[in-house]
Amino acid sequence: MSSGDGQQSQALTKPAFSEVQASAIVDSVFGLKVSKIQPLPSYDDQNFHVCISRTKDTTDGPNECVLKINNTESSKTPDLIEVQSHIMMFLRAAGFPTASVYRTKGDHITSLTSIDSGSEIKSYLVRLLTYLPGRPIAEIPISSQLLYEIGRLAAKLDKTLENFHHPQLSSLHRENFIWNLKNVPLLEKYLYALGQNRKREIVEQVIQLFKDEVMTKLSHFRECINHGDLNDHNILIESSKSACGDAVYQVSGILDFDDMSYGYYVFEVAITIMYMMIESKTPIQVGGHVLAGFESVIPLTPVERGALFLLVCSRFCQSLVLAAYSCHLYPENEEYLMITAKTGWRHLQQMFDMGQKAVEEIWFETAKSYEPGISM
């Protein structure tokens, strides 16, 4: 769930291609005939699930794929999108369930498509990705073991990216990117979208605490490349039957690399905890299981652990404030934009009311129970 770097504004135009136009792009840019196409939910880009017609010339091509059309602002950063695409392919080669990127007829991984909107011609970057199987974890009751595995996945992803190299890697230094967790103070310019109420008061307190207690410690956090958006709709799972006949879930897909940027290990685990809380009936318990999985690969330092509570609160604030703001711009997309808000405000309020010490005690004791020799 991302926007372009810098301030979101009306200048950011979400694509509005029809199914006919999208099919024509798949044909003209990638040389593939569409047999079926339907829109997929998205934040401020546009995605289509595409089925490809089989011909004697395309027997080895994709059966199903996703046409991704970036918004106008993101489309102005082709170097960044190329790096994100290469990261997906790098992670797939390393064994992660990420999408492959299909090349255009001109052997590129992106193509700039222009369309006359009536008053002006707008340009959008398009890519064709493999369609990944599975259901979003938002649709299933999530177990403590799966939470642990997702925490472990987040850490392994960041750890693996330590070995990623690309000539345009510096494009991931997105200093004013509104979704980077270090940029929580930038939320102040969007607070008006909340009105004057208790919700706004909580967000203002979190922003001030962030300035006082996180900004001063950033130099003590370990840097890395963050996926930045491991939410409950960007992780797909598939189920199989265990020997006992129970459903066993495995991650079958990691989606949406548009929020990737340089950050810190503790950012990734905080973001993952926050999103795993969204659908949980016991949200406060979630953090310990995710943290245990993450720390089985990358143990946090005492300073990083001490910032975790406030970072989770801060990510809630980012998601909730920007969703409210985006609803002003795109009221027709409100149902998707407000997914987090359905439970997010309640979870943030609960964390805030309990306080850092009480929440940390639950998280850290739960994480400790996973240590060897300690019964769960």
Catalytic residue numbers, as ranges = 229
User: From residue 326, how far is each of 81, 194, 279, 330, 344 by CA, in Å?
Assistant: 22, 11, 22, 6, 16
As a whole number of angstroms, the distance between CA 87 and CA 252 comes to 17
As a whole number of angstroms, the distance between CA 373 and CA 376 comes to 9
Under 8 Å between Cβ of 135 and 236: yes
Query: Where do we find the tokens 């939910």?
Result: 41
327: tokens are 């609803």
As a whole number of angstroms, the distance between CA 101 and CA 92 comes to 10
The dihedral over CA atoms of 354, 356, 357, 360, expressed in degrees to the nearest 10, equals: 100
- How long is the chain? 376
User: From residue 251, how far is each of 152, 231, 240 by CA, in Å?
Assistant: 11, 13, 11
Q: Is 325 exposed, middle or buried (0-12, 13-18, 19+ CB in 10 A)?
A: buried
Instruction: Tell me the three state secondary structure of residue 103.
Output: coil
Count helices and strands (H / E) in the chain.
10, 11
As a whole number of angstroms, the distance between CA 335 and CA 150 comes to 26
As a whole number of angstroms, the distance between CA 19 and CA 50 comes to 10
As a whole number of angstroms, the distance between CA 131 and CA 120 comes to 33
Under 8 Å between Cβ of 201 and 353: no
Under 8 Å between Cβ of 316 and 274: yes
> What is the number of other CB atoms lying within 10 angstroms of the CB of residue 271?
27
As a whole number of angstroms, the distance between CA 204 and CA 352 comes to 12
96: tokens are 């992660």
